[in-house]
Chain A
Amino acid sequence: MAELEVSGITFAYEETPVLSDVSLKLHEHELVSILGASGCGKTTLFHVIAGLHKPQQGKVVLNGRDITGCPGQISYMMQKDLLLPYRTIEDNVILPLLLKGEKKKEAREKASLYFEEFGLEGTQRKYPRQLSGGMRQRAALLRTYMFSREVALLDEPFSALDTLTKSEMHRWYLDVMDKIHMSTLFITHDIDEAILLSDRICLLTGKPGRVTEEIVIKEPRPRKREFNLTEEFLEYKRRILERL
């Protein structure tokens, strides 16, 4: 059984239809990316899955439970890092725990276990504006992880970074993923990134958007750094470019 099952989602902002009959599945420990052009409705789809928007049609089911239109069930990292400028990194990261009613001290203790793993040691007492873009992204990711370890929605987590920082973050992310085993839905419009990181790629195209193609990346994990230079990689890329 799929951990997260999205079926037949249709959504429109007032008069503009954005999504039409979108369905996808996410299995345990899987990383599925949603690839599509700018403005095709990727963020909207995530808002629906996270329960922030109610779809006109369709269902979102998490572990067999219907959670359509109920926020507070799935970790969601938005397109911007949205770290609160007036809280230290540590206090930003424990925010989901505080919202669930945990005590500040216990929450800090819990979070402190992960700072090293996320490459954030020494930043606990700093404010977001004192950190580089890459570090802020890691902090936002850790906050997402603190909310729940089941399913995470990541909306273009690395798109704001420069190419070098980005590939460093990819390597780091694949590393962390191997350790924490989170199931992830991942938005990107970077084809290389999608092939490098995903188990499956869903292509979202058209207006209103729908999932037109699903591509399975068979390359086993952990993936080598040279994967994106291989013949297979190029073959995948060719296939995706044809379909987009």
Chain B
Amino acid sequence: MKRKLRNITSRLLPVTAVLLLLAIWQTACAAGLISGFLLPSPLEVAMAFVKDFPLLMDNAKVTLLEAFIGLAVGVLVGFVTAVLMDCFDWLYRAVYPLIVLTQTVPTVAIAPLLVLWFGYEMLPKVILIVIVTFFPITVSLLDGFRASDQDTVSLLRSMGASKSQIFRYVKFPGALGAFFASLRISVSYAVVGAVISEWLGGFNGLGVYMTRVKKAFSFDKMFAVIFLISAISLFLMWAVNVLQRISMPWEEENR
């Protein structure tokens, strides 16, 4: 009973904090402390959101599609790279520094190049998302594979297990936790990556919408789209959590 109560309070706390913040913001704007030109009030943002709702949804569809395709390819590439690097040590030593290098190049710097090479359609955006999402997946999966318990591996070897069987029964399930942790990161990278690549060239998407409303100085719409992007990222991370709970039932509390 007490535990349940604490659970409810712990869930109410952040909600209260957010509501309080919004209230302060609204009051400050209404009292004229901040000029409406610099910072729209929450109510104005909400109204802009409602007014542009169909347009926002159309653009969100495009951005989400890019993010999904990019993430799917990124996860696949990340997984395959990790497995290959785990199997072949020479590959690990040869490729790992290269992979780290791809992460030191700022996204904003390569995006225009990708646009130049691949045009204004979907391809350059997907490529950019793949580049930013595969890295966390590869690194955490590799760590997960390498952290597998050596005694358990010996046990399976004593049962005559092949290398691929050891991978399937020990290394892969052991790395699942690390995989989901990195997937949560990659999901938010994918959304942000899609938006950034749209800033730098494209016809549709939330990033394009953003550039457009910025040029029109409609800061209420600007804030509306920013909140929408955060909400999408949060929703996707929650979805990853659900996926994790379903695919790792042994982590559930003893009940």
Interfacial residues, chain A to chain B (CB-CB below 8 A): 47, 50-52, 71-74, 76, 78, 80, 82, 84-87, 95-96, 98-100, 127, 129-130, 147
Contact = CB atoms under 8 A, between A and B. Distances in A.
B155 A76 contact: yes
Contact of B159 (A72, A80, A129, A130): A72
Interface residues of B, number: 20
Contact of B158 (A72, A87, A100, A127): A72
Contact of B155 (A51, A73, A82): A82
B158 A99 contact: no
A60 to B, nearest CB: 13
B151 A71 contact: no
A50 B156 CA distance: 11
A47 B161 CA distance: 15
Contacts of A98: 169
Interface string B157-178: 1111100010001100110100
B230 interface: no
A113 to B, nearest CB: 20
12 contacts: A50-B158, A52-B154, A72-B157, A72-B160, A78-B151, A78-B155, A84-B173, A86-B176, A96-B159, A99-B169, A127-B250, A147-B159
Contacts, number: 57
A76 B173 contact: no
Given A78-B155, A98-B169, 8 more contacts: A47-B154, A52-B154, A73-B160, A76-B159, A86-B173, A86-B176, A99-B156, A130-B254
By DSSP majority rule, is chain B's interface helix, strand, loop, or mixed? helix
Contacts of A99: 156, 159-161, 165, 169
What are the 8 A-B residue pairs with the smallest beta carbon separation, nearest first? A72-B160, A76-B158, A50-B158, A127-B250, A86-B173, A86-B250, A96-B159, A99-B161
B248 interface: yes
Given A84-B152, A84-B170, A86-B248, A51 B158 contact: yes
A147 B174 CA distance: 23
Contacts of B174: 86
Interface of A is mostly: loop
A126 B218 CA distance: 58
B139 to A, nearest CB: 22
Given A95-B169, A99-B165, A82 B151 contact: yes
A148 B42 CA distance: 70
Contacts of A73: 160
Contact of B157 (A71, A84, A95, A130): A71
A130 B160 CA distance: 28
B169 A84 contact: yes
A100 B165 CA distance: 10
B152 to A, nearest CB: 5
Nearest to B155: A82
Interface string B212-255: 00000000000000000000000000000000000010100010
Contacts of B160: 71-73, 99-100
B162 to A, nearest CB: 8
A80 B250 contact: no
Contacts of A71: 157-160
Contacts of A51: 158
Given A84-B169, A99-B165, A100-B160, A78 B254 contact: no
A82 B159 CA distance: 13
Interface in B175-196: 176
B174 to A, nearest CB: 8
Nearest to B157: A71
